[in-house]
Amino acid sequence: MSENKKIFATPKIRKFARELGANIEQIEGSERKGRITEYDVKSFINKKLIQSKNFHQSNKKQEKIQSEFKHSDFGEVEIKDMPRVKKIAALHLSNSWTKIPHVTHHDEADITELELFRSSLTDINTGHKKKITPLVFIIKSLVSALIKYPNFNCSIDDIDNGKMTLKKYFHIGIAVDTKHGLMVPKVRNANNKNLNQLSEELKDISDKCRNLKIDKKEFFGGSMTITSLGGIGGYFFTPIINYPEVAILGVGRTYYKQVLINNEFQKRNMLPLSLSYDHRIIDGAEAARFCNELKENIGKNFAYRLAI
C-alpha cells in the first residue's frame, strides 16, 4: 500500500481489526474511496488463515517423515499424562520462544566480598548465623539495574503501532523448582524491601508453590525474572524469557578461579550470569551495559551500591 494513501475506516472498524490482530494498513477497502468495512477485515483474516494452512500443508511431507514410525516400533514404551503445571508451562514457553527474538549475553560477576559478608551475617538477638541466600542480593542488584535501565522493565503489547509499556513497579519473578513443575511467583515491590524481608518472602512464596497454595495471580504482573541453577549445578545456559516480560536473568553455580589483580593472581569467587533479552527492544550494547551494572552491584563495592 502506498505510504501516502489515506486509510478510510471508522473507529469501530479500526478497533475490530486491532482486536483480531489485523494491521489496518494492509487491508484493502471494498467501499467507495477504499473505505474498509467489517467484511473486508474478516476477508483479510480468512486470507491469512488460508495462507497459514497452505504453509503447514507444504510441510506435510516433512511431518510425515518425522511421524512415520511410532516409538513403540522400537521397543517398550509407557504413555503418561504430563503434570498440569508442566502442560501450562509448555504452552507458555512455546508462545514465548516463537514470539520473542531471543539473544543471550553471558558474563560472570566477582562476588568474593559479597560472599564473605553474607557468611558473616548473624542474628543480633540469638547470635546464630543468618540463612540469607545469594539470591536475595541478586534481587536487590537486579532492581537497582532496572531503575537505571528501564527498557528491561517493560512489555511490548502493541508492536504494530510501535508502543511499549514501561512499568513503574518492581515485581521480580523467581523460578521455583517443585515436584509439580517449574513455577514463577513474584516478589512484589522488591525495591521497598530489605535483606530480611526479601529472604522471608522468598521462603514464603517458595513454600506456597511447593504446597500448591499460591494464588494464581502471583504468577502474573512481573518486571523481570530470575532463574537460578546454583543449588543444582551448571554454569551458563539460555533461559527463555517469561512473556510478556522482555528479559530474564539466569544464575549458575559459583566457582573459584585465579584472577589477575594489581599484577598478582588472586583466588576469586565467580558467579556465572546468563541474560536473555528481547532483541526487538534491547540491543547488544544495552544488554552488556545492563550486565555490567549487575556485576558492579554485587561486586566488591556491593555494600555501597546496594545501600546495605
Q: Please give the torsion angle defined by the CA atoms of residues 63, 66, 68 and 74, in that order, rounded to the nearest 10 degrees.
A: -160
Backbone angles phi, psi at 165, to 5 degrees: -105, 115
pLDDT for the residue numbered 59: 58
Average pLDDT of the chain is 89
Beta bridge partners of 251: 228, 273
Q: Are 187 and 139 in contact (CB under 8 A)?
A: yes
Predicted pLDDT at 2: 46
Known active-site residue 279 = yes
Instruction: Answer yes or no: CATH 3.30.70.20 is held by domain 85-305.
Output: no
Give the C-alpha separation, 173 to 250, whole Å. 12
Q: What is the domain partition of the chain in residue ranges?
A: 11-71, 85-305
| The CATH number of domain 11-71 is 4.10.320.10 | yes
Instruction: Report pLDDT for 62.
Output: 55
What does the pLDDT read at residue 201? Answer: 97
β strands within 206-263, DSSP E: 224-228, 247-251, 255-261
In this prediction, the residues of the chain whose per-residue pLDDT falls under 50 are 1-2
- The pLDDT, as a whole number, for residue 1 is 46
Copy the grid coordinates of residue 281: 527492544
Phi-psi category of residue 221: left, alpha or beta, with phi > 0 → left and psi -120 to 50 → alpha = left
Burial (CB < 10 A; 0-12, 13-18, 19+), residue 100, is buried
Predicted confidence (pLDDT) per residue in 223-245, tens digit:
999 999 988 989 999 999 999 99
Distances (CA, A) of 295 to 41, 150, 298: 50, 17, 5
Q: Determine the Cα–Cα distance for residues 160 and 224; give it in Å rounded to an integer.
A: 23
**Domains 11-71 and 85-305 are alike in CATH topology:** no
- pLDDT score, position 116: 94
pLDDT in tens, 60-80: 555 555 667 888 989 999 999
- Give the residue among 236, 281, 240 at the shortest CA–CA distance from 254: 236
Q: Report pTM.
A: 0.77
The confidence score (pLDDT) of residue 55 equals 59
Indicate the pairing of strand 176-178 with strand 181-183.
antiparallel
Predicted confidence at residue 17, as pLDDT, reads 83
